[in-house]
Amino acid sequence: MKKCLVLVVVCCLLSSCGWFKKEEENHTLYTVEGTMYDRDGVTPLVGKNLELVVMGFGLTRKNTEDLAHCTTDAKGNYHF
């Protein structure tokens, strides 16, 4: 019974100290851009689909989230 009471008190203290409050979201914008080339390093890859994915977040570190998608243009350029 004492262990249960201690657990409840610890949970109350942790929840009241702000550990579980959601922090304000950071709205900083970043740009990722470049050019995709074939293995020869000269020929641009046209029409290739790209994904920008965040991996390994959350409690289990197994979560993923798609951040952006794009397709390379006629010169192999991409921009997220």
Can you give the residue ranges of every domain in the chain? 30-80
CA distance 57 to 35: 28
For 4, list phi and psi in degrees, rounded to 5: -65, -45
pTM of the model: 0.56
Let me know: does 18 contact 49? Beta carbons within 8 Å: no
24-74 per-position pLDDT tens digit? 666 788 888 999 999 999 999 999 999 988 877 666 667 778 888 999 999
| Token output for 1 | 């019974």
45-58 per-position pLDDT tens digit? 999 999 988 877 66
